[in-house]
Amino acid sequence: MIFKARNKSFDLKKTIIFGILNVTPDSFYDGGRWFNPDNAIKRAFEMIEEGADIIDLGGESTRPFTDPTPLDVELERILPVLKELVKNNISVSVDTYKPEVAKIALEEGAIVINDVFGLRSKGMLEIISTFNPKPGIIIMHMKKNPKEMQVNPEYNNIFSEISEFLHTQAKKAIKAGFTKENILLDVGLGFGKSFEDNLKLCSNYERFLEDNFLHIIGPSRKSFTGLVSNGVPTEDRLPATISLSSICVYKGVHALRVHDVKEIRLACDMAEEMRKISI
């Protein structure tokens, strides 16, 4: 199995690691840390050294209850970093739900669009489908939008509702010229889900893997990982992130989106070996 994005292919014998690089002042964990372009570029190189396959570059915080970032501000944040990374042949995913940002990012050399709105933005699919070879796309499930997603999220059947949305959107992408090898599906941990919802999704993730699509998951330091241990702060959530990442990789998830590349890469190596020898 492989994941294809523009002119690059990633062998899924090993879990693909997306290293999170938020060039924002307000992201929930690293907001402000990499806001300076030089610091962000340095961190990207570090994550590649630590084992990241792709740098996931974001210019807008999508943490709960946030307002949208203006288009020009988002571009101003990401473009200096994107251009420098592409110049150094680093694979870059851009985390955006704005079609205009996606278009410019792909023109500047990004190979993946990570869309937290799951192709719901008007014009997104039409724009990114014009690029050949096709970029990779991450289609994520989120109830409503970041401003409203954590206001009493409810599901009749969380598995069927998320699966139906992801498969509907993936079929639209395939109709537009993408293949399954271009698409990563993401259940959207923490995006319109309760504490129990998130744990239920992770502990039963194999139910999603029966669809023969590629899957990515992003448990990194999210609030529900802290609630398990009586509300530990963001900076103390790495052990829970390692645990969840290992479980999901053992169950067969193909890719992870994380802040702590070195530690998660090592955890993935062990989970992959355990999966190979399981009876």
What are the pLDDT digits (tens) for 206-218?
999 988 999 999 9
pLDDT at position 32, please?
66
Of the candidates 217, 186, 207, 7, the one whose C-alpha atom is nearest the C-alpha of residue 91 is 7
What is the C-alpha separation between 44 and 156, in angstroms, rounded?
41
- Please tell me the CATH superfamily of domain 2-277, with its number: Dihydropteroate synthase-like (3.20.20.20)
Q: Which residue has the higher pLDDT, 229 or 201?
A: 201
Q: Which residue has the higher pLDDT, 27 or 16?
A: 16
Q: Which two tokens stand for residue 142?
A: 């989120």
Q: What is the dihedral of CA 252, 253, 259, 265, to 10 degrees?
A: 30
Q: Is the pLDDT of residue 7 over 90?
A: yes
Q: Is the pLDDT of residue 146 over 80?
A: no
Reported confidence tier of residue 225, pLDDT bands at 50, 70, 90: confident
Q: Is the pLDDT of residue 200 over 80?
A: yes
> What is the set of active-site residues?
222, 257
Q: Which residue has the higher pLDDT, 67 or 80?
A: 80
Helix ranges (DSSP H) in the chain: 37-50, 71-87, 99-107, 124-128, 158-175, 195-203, 223-227, 238-251, 261-277
Q: Is the pLDDT of residue 156 over 80?
A: yes
What is the C-alpha separation between 185 and 164, in angstroms, rounded?
12
Are the C-beta atoms of residues 65 and 56 closer than 8 Å to each other?
no
What is the C-alpha separation between 46 and 241, in angstroms, rounded?
20
Q: Which two tokens stand for residue 69?
A: 């970032």
State the burial class of residue 234 (Cβ atoms within 10 Å of its Cβ: 0-12, 13-18, 19+).
middle
State the burial class of residue 20 (Cβ atoms within 10 Å of its Cβ: 0-12, 13-18, 19+).
buried
What is the C-alpha separation between 105 and 279, in angstroms, rounded?
44
Reported confidence tier of residue 50, pLDDT bands at 50, 70, 90: very high
What is the rounded average pLDDT of the residues 153-170? 94
C-beta neighbour count of 259 within 10 angstroms: 23
Rg (CA), the chain: 17
pLDDT exceeding 70 applies to what percent of the chain? 93
3-state secondary structure of 140: strand
Q: Which two tokens stand for residue 212?
A: 């023969």
Q: Is the pLDDT of residue 232 over 90?
A: no
pLDDT at position 210, please?
86
pLDDT at position 222, please?
80
pLDDT at position 223, please?
73
pLDDT at position 147, please?
67
What is the rounded average pLDDT of the residues 227-248? 85
Question: Residue 94 contacts by C-beta under 8 Å, 6 or more apart in sequence?
Answer: 56, 57, 58, 78, 82, 101, 102, 105, 110, 112, 113, 114
Q: What is the mean pLDDT of the chain?
A: 92
Residue with tokens 């129990």: 196
pLDDT in tens, 57-70: 999 988 766 788 99
pLDDT in tens, 28-49: 556 567 679 999 999 999 999 9
What is the rounded average pLDDT of the residues 254-270? 96
User: What HEC string does 92-134 produce?
Assistant: EEEECCCHHHHHHHHHCCCCEEEECCCCCCCCHHHHHCCCCCC
pLDDT at position 30, please?
61
What is the C-alpha separation between 31 and 124, in angstroms, rounded?
26
